[in-house]
Amino acid sequence: MTRSGGRKRRLHFSKIYSFSCGRASLKEEHSQIGGPGFSRVVFCNEPDSFEAGIRNYADNYVSTTKYTVATFLPKSLFEQFRRVANFYFLVTGILAFTPLAPYSAVSAIIPLIIVIGATMTKEGIEDWRRKQQDIEVNNRKVKVHKGSGEFDYTEWKNLRVGDIVRVEKDEFFPTDLLLLSSSYEDAICYVETMNLDGETNLKLKQALDVTSTLQEDTSISDFHAMVKCEDPNANLYSFLGTMDFEKQQYPLSPQQLLLRDSKLRNTDYIYGVVIFTGVDTKVIQNSTPPPSKRSRVEKKMDKIIYLLFGVLFTLSSVGSIFFGIKTKDDLNNGIMKRWYLKPDDSTVFYDPKKVPLAAIYHFLTALMLYSYLIPISLYVSIEIVKVLQSVFINQDIHMYYEEADKPAHARTSNLNEELGQVDTILSDKTGTLTCNSMEFIKCSVAGTAYGRGFTEVERSMGRRNGSPVHEALIGKDDTAPIKGFNFKDERIMFGNWVNEPHGDLIQNFFRLLAVCHTAIPEVDEVTGKVMYEAESPDEAAFVIAAREVGFEFYKRTQTSISVRELDRASGQQVDSLYTLLNVLEFNSTRKRMSVIVRNEEGKVLLLCKGADNVMFERLAKNGREFEEETKEHLNGYADAGLRTLILAYRELQEDEYTEFNAKFIKAKNSISADREALIDEVTDNVEKDLILLGATAVEDKLQNGVPDCIDKLAQAGIKIWVLTGDKMETAINIGFACSLLRQGMTQIMINLESPEIKVLEKEGDKDAITKASRARVLHHIDKGKAQLTASSGGSEAFALIIDGKSLAYALEDDIKSLFLELAMGCASVICCRSSPKQKALVTRLVKSGTGKTTLAIGDGANDVGMLQEADIGIGISGVEGMQAVMSSDIAIAQFRYLERLLLVHGHWCYRRISSMICYFFYKNITFGLAVFLYEASTTFSGQPVYNDWFLSLYNVFFSSLPVVAMGVFDQDVSARFCLKFPLLYQEGVQNVLFSWRRIIGWMLNGLTSAVIIFFFCMKALQPCAFNPDGKTAGMDILGATMYTCTVWVVNLQMALAISYFTLIQHLFIWGSITLWYLFMLAYGAMSPTLSTNAYKVFVETLAPTPSFWLITLLVPISALLPYFTYSSLRMRFFPLYHKMIQWIRYEGRSNDPEFCDMVRQRSLRPTTVGFTARLAARTNKLRR
């Protein structure tokens, strides 16, 4: 498709940006091209050439699935049989086909097939959903050059290295591209990299001059060049290469590289050549393969299985030894002790002449017979329960985001119980904590504070303090909301500022906001409304605020800025033209931005805005009139979580400006190593003697409920880290906004901003820089640890703030343990300028170093590595891309839903799964030990006391359904109480409900029940008339009676253990017992060939006999009495936290604030972050 028509002239933005868009030169490092690590060669516009084909570069298909069609069966089977219990049942299933088996092979193998098949089906469905999302991304369309200047749409997955693509405004880049040209004449373009580094401000990229003339589709036809560059790597911020074009070689830098998953903004289109595809792209290089995650509870469950295997082998060994001794004595001088085994004419299994072999065979038989100690249905029951728990998470209306029509979505159900054990949360900032929008909300001008709005932080603190703020205090506002503007004050709005005492300063204040920026106005042709595209959201908020107050910036050229403003004298709107002389750009070192303009009166003005710590020191003596009032307002704004800037100005004399401009041009044109230092020196000399106008306060708009959520999570004892690609100042402001930081908290800063390192950087000695940087990071860590040690035992809270460069050294093998020790001693940790790889490494460090459950939460492709590395990855299904969601375990629409996900669903799932597993082991030990005790009483003959199908169906029909119902529906406390008493969450973090003490306790309960059931039934039925006919009870009657008592005991035990009954639980508990009786009737009515020794056992022998019913009444009561006694004493004297809350509810004291506070304050450590901690700190300060 050929682009027709003339090219519309666009602004040369590279001339506005004084410090950016520097051209690369062939430096020393470019000599590495062609060597190791720099071997990639790209033939531009020739993807089909022979040279391109032999290099066999990766295609552009990207996959996030765990399986493929070829690997699903072997890998999924491996996943199932790496569970030791499943492997054991596979072995016993094979042995069941031999004469050794004490039961039929069919009854042994069918349950295993059902269990494995159900789990594999679930895994397959979950991975298919991931596959569908991959297909959606890989099938996105982009225009690619087909030849002869013709462009046509193709799918992302079909792109090849060397293809030339045309990407249009607001589209994502499909691969890593080398920028050739753009819709701007000087070949610049704006790129939003939020998916990569979390930043919303736009990055400026610029192509080489030699390719900037490729202005139309047709001009691409004859373009051919060869690019030599670095091999694929994970470094987002570096790129080294050369382009051979028209027999000349040109250097390439990161300025020309457009990364996959970043977005083209404020630029109509660009042309680019594909450099890296698919797995070679930098964003994918920063990700890791989707791991097979298993919860800590499941891993511990495997250890319990190993313990039970130990018990199983011990019982089998003891029984086999005893059996061998007895078998040896069976035939002694012709006397047969166990005559019924016919030792004189026996098979090898009972042959007294082959005792060792008989004992070994008995050992194998015993392994199969006692296999019921191991719960075969445990895994599949847990899988079913987890799937149903996930359904409840997905359908929770309290986690449904109506605005975007997005519910919570549990993409895997393997980690439900992990949600109840999270010790540390590692969170992205942009798009996760914030909404990616700034709002101008307050300002201080001439010592007077303006703006009556409330921030999210102020609302949260007000609610906690019992004095909620009300918007009604500032009057009803029916006007439509304006993005970026939430300022309400009748003294300023609607032109009323002219009546203020310092109206002239207010005019200069908003005039500065309208002029001092690099934003670009766009006029809507339909409405005539002026909209703005800015490098950062806060810059856009400033020009919008100026417009709403009456200073509308509406036009920019390369040399001028036009503002429509209110004239104080006439009260009319007038157009003012400001000639743009210089732009002194903002950077993290200068922390300020200035423009020098000439107004219509011919005066040269320097307008400056910047951080308070650099601006106050630049004020003139006569410009500090309102300094104290402004500082007081700044403190209030910071406490409200607002981002602040100081505004000031000065008038330059003509000769002073002329001298400055000459020095500035000279510094910019300098080619020496200290060019930036020369520029800084020149700008420092002009940005001084300023007159203070006031301060702006912008709310980096948090998502709704973020401070509340963080406060509640902090009260639950969860540590929260923020890992962001943003600069340190931004991250700190957000820390204050969401109450991770507060006034009075000691900040431990680790960065490499020191004069010594700057000198070394100018000298270019890399080894010296590395050595000095490591030493500085170590010094900061040691100093921070000393501060923690000095304050140990005190109430002082610490926050650790570290930048990306320092983090690279802190994560080295010999330093990372010291860094983690320091970080774990701090209340808050904020890592700034973190690359995706660093985020993943920090997550790995916390996970492995603490041994506790970690949760990572993010919304962009830059968070994928972190989400996959953490024990649990939570993706925010925000407005930008689906990469984080596709790689996450659970997706939610807003950060605030994390509170309910963890404190409610997490706690419930942890408790349910833990109780399920304990109960499973209890019921199987009760069942299996009864089999063993009967074996012992029959001198280990290998004969099971129960019928084959009684054995097989115990775990399937008569005891599993109630435990599934408990795993899905049981609640120790309601959702309201989970949120009211967040400390309850610590039961999961400390693993109170799945500790070895609790597990062993349930096992001992099972042992007690088995002993009581066996001996009571044996003694009750031992030789005496069982019915009026005088018949005694045989093995069939004893087995059926013991089985009946077991079914009653385990189901009634479940009824005692449940805290929250539903109709379904009643149905399953009593239904399982009823089903047993119905089964005895139906199975006993079958022919003796099928029912064997269960033939009419219930109808003819058990049901007519009163003693059977008496036994089934007294034995369950006796078996449950020990548990009932223990739990009653525990509740009375040593209640767990959830039991205390249940008692509050039972006594009706849930609305008694003093009693609830007493229970709530049983904290293991004081809360140090969140607005609750901020309020407590302020209260303590007032008391002192």
Residue whose tokens read 């193998």: 109
Question: Strand, coil or helix: what is 377?
Answer: helix
Give φ, ψ of 1161 to 5 degrees: -85, 10
The counts of H helices and E strands in the chain are 41, 35
- Using alpha carbons only, give the angle 302, 304, 307 rounded to the nearest 5 degrees: 115
What six digits make up the tokens of 224? 């051919």
Q: CA 856, 858, 863, 864 torsion: positive or negative? A: positive
The model's pLDDT over 853-885, given as tens digits with 9 standing for 90+, comes to: 999 998 877 788 888 889 999 988 865 556 677
Alpha helix segments (H runs only) across 329-422: 355-369, 377-394
- The answer to whether residues 450 and 492 touch, using CB atoms and an 8 Å cutoff, is yes
β-bridge partners, 649:
607, 691
The model's pLDDT over 61-103, given as tens digits with 9 standing for 90+, comes to: 988 788 888 888 888 888 888 777 778 788 877 887 877 777 7
* Average pLDDT, integer, range 785-813: 85
Per the model's pLDDT, the better-predicted residue between 1030 and 282 turns out to be: 282
β-bridge partners, 167:
270
pLDDT given for residue 352 in this prediction: 63
Q: Which residues of 463-483 are buried (b: 16+ CB within 10 A; e: fewer)?
A: ebeeeebeeeeeeeeeeeeee
CA-to-CA distance for 505 and 503, rounded, in angstroms?
5
Question: Strand, coil or helix: what is 875?
Answer: strand
- The answer to whether residues 742 and 713 touch, using CB atoms and an 8 Å cutoff, is no
pLDDT given for residue 474 in this prediction: 44
CA-to-CA distance for 112 and 120, rounded, in angstroms?
12
The model's pLDDT over 531-568, given as tens digits with 9 standing for 90+, comes to: 887 777 788 899 999 999 999 998 887 688 999 998 87
Question: Strand, coil or helix: what is 43?
Answer: strand
Which residues are known to be catalytic?
428
pLDDT given for residue 1183 in this prediction: 47
CA-to-CA distance for 206 and 179, rounded, in angstroms?
7
What six digits make up the tokens of 690? 């300023």
What six digits make up the tokens of 695? 């301060």
Please, what is the average pLDDT of the chain?
A: 82
- What is the chain's alpha carbon radius of gyration, rounded to the nearest angstrom? 37
The model's pLDDT over 1033-1057, given as tens digits with 9 standing for 90+, comes to: 677 888 899 999 999 999 999 999 9
Closest alpha carbon to 176 in 259, 232, 242: 259
Considering only 471-480, 787-796, 1024-1033, 1036-1045, which range has the smallest mean pLDDT? 471-480
- Is the pLDDT score of 428 beyond 90? no
Mean pLDDT is highest, among 202-206, 208-212, 443-447, for: 443-447
* Average pLDDT, integer, range 1013-1032: 75
- Is the pLDDT score of 39 beyond 50? yes
- Is the pLDDT score of 805 beyond 80? yes
pLDDT given for residue 3 in this prediction: 42
What six digits make up the tokens of 398? 């309290």
DSSP 903-965: IIIIHHHHHHHHHHHHHHHHHHHHHHHHHHHHHHHTTS-S--SS-HHHHHHIIIIISHHHHHH
pLDDT given for residue 1170 in this prediction: 53
Question: How many Cα atoms occupy the beta-carbon half-sphere of 930 within 13 Å?
Answer: 32
Residue 921: C-alpha distances to residues 112, 250, 376, 1130 (Å)? 18, 71, 11, 21
- Using alpha carbons only, give the angle 919, 925, 927 rounded to the nearest 5 degrees: 105
Q: Is the pTM higher than 0.75?
A: no
The separation between the first and the last C-alpha atoms of the chain, rounded to the nearest angstrom, is 75
